[in-house]
Amino acid sequence: MELKIFDRAEDAAIALAKRIATALAEHADLVLGLPTGRSPIAAYAELRRMHAAGEIDFSRASTFNLDEFAGIGAAHTGSFRRFMDEHLFDAVNVDRARVHFLDGSAADLDAECDRYESEIERAGGIDLQLLGIGANGHIGFNEPGDELVARTHRVILHEVTRRENAALFGGRPENVPREALSMGMATILKTRRIVLIATGERKASCVERTVRGPLTTRLPASFLQTHRHVELFLDRASASRLPGCRA
Ligand code: GLP
């Protein structure tokens, strides 16, 4: 894993946005995997700024979001689709026909997961996968447990994850759906390159275990150690438990 450690969270976000811009400049038809959560928000803001300044062109790119809540439609204010519109898509020249989401309101959620895997394959696979990381070490919505699921699948969310996502549901964890759909671990590990952003002291423990710990289903992000091209964009606080890195 390649560690990129910055003094401030803002610097990590700007560097991540530059990384994406460079990849897009090299391959205009890049297939991007995108996360939600607080971690990528500043990088998305920088991408919006770069687009307004004419520094980045999304017109031929495709995107696949990692996950979505089940039981709510795209128009719901808590949906990840709405999150992405607000933080990125409404402000850049992405072609909506190339924007892909899991549909949490599909009548047959298992069939919806299969459809998504096929769409990713049809697009030629994901070139650059952005990730955040849950404080419990989840990636996408692949939660810690006795086992992990390879392909896109239905997930029962942990209470801690529902609390962490409460801001999208009026601050009320009980309003966060109990179920979600998520790319699986193999879906993520099959992507060609992975860039993960983690900032703040709250992430220091899971970052340390992601980089140095054993591979364990108890920390899904630890499996990133098996991928050949992973870059971690960290601030000093999230890197503070790594050897030689002090906050
Ligand atoms: C959600 C998303 C994850 C994200 C995680 C971390 O659970 N499904 O993809 O990485 O939140 O959230 P945050 O960046 O707000 O800490």
Q: Where are the beta strands (DSSP E) in 70-208?
A: 99-100, 128-131, 153-156, 179-182, 193-198
Query: In the prediction, which pLDDT does 246 show?
Result: 64
**With 80 as the cut, is the pLDDT of residue 176 above it?**
yes
Q: Identify whether 40 is part of a domain.
A: yes
Q: Identify whether 90 is part of a domain.
A: yes
**Total tally of structural domains belonging to the chain:** 1
Q: Where are the beta strands (DSSP E) in the chain?
A: 2-6, 31-34, 62-65, 67-69, 99-100, 128-131, 153-156, 179-182, 193-198, 230-235
Q: Identify whether 240 is part of a domain.
A: no
Q: Identify whether 176 is part of a domain.
A: yes
Q: Does residue 35 have its Cβ closer than 6 Å to ligand 1?
A: yes
- The pair of three-digit structure tokens given for residue 188, joined into one six-digit string: 């993520």
Q: Does residue 238 have its Cβ closer than 6 Å to ligand 1?
A: no
Return the CATH number at 129: 3.40.50.1360
Q: Does residue 68 have its Cβ closer than 6 Å to ligand 1?
A: no
For ligand 1, atom 10, the nearest C-alpha belongs to: 132
Our answer to whether residue 138 is catalytic in this structure is: yes
pLDDT bin (cut points 50, 70, 90) of residue 231 is very high
Contact between 123 and 115 under an 8 Å Cβ cutoff? The reply is: no
Contact between 179 and 165 under an 8 Å Cβ cutoff? The reply is: no
- The pair of three-digit structure tokens given for residue 65, joined into one six-digit string: 């979001």
Q: Identify whether 97 is part of a domain.
A: yes
Mean pLDDT of 26-35: 98
3-state secondary structure of 202: helix
Domain span at residue 12 reads: 2-235
pTM for the model stands at: 0.96
**With 70 as the cut, is the pLDDT of residue 76 above it?**
yes
Q: Identify whether 243 is part of a domain.
A: no
Q: Identify whether 247 is part of a domain.
A: no
Tokens 């520094």 locate to 55
Query: In the prediction, which pLDDT does 141 show?
Result: 96
Our answer to whether residue 67 is catalytic in this structure is: yes
Mean pLDDT of 161-181: 96
Q: Identify whether 203 is part of a domain.
A: yes
End-to-end CA distance of the chain: 20
Mean pLDDT of 51-63: 98
**With 80 as the cut, is the pLDDT of residue 244 above it?**
no
% of the chain with per-residue pLDDT over 70: 99
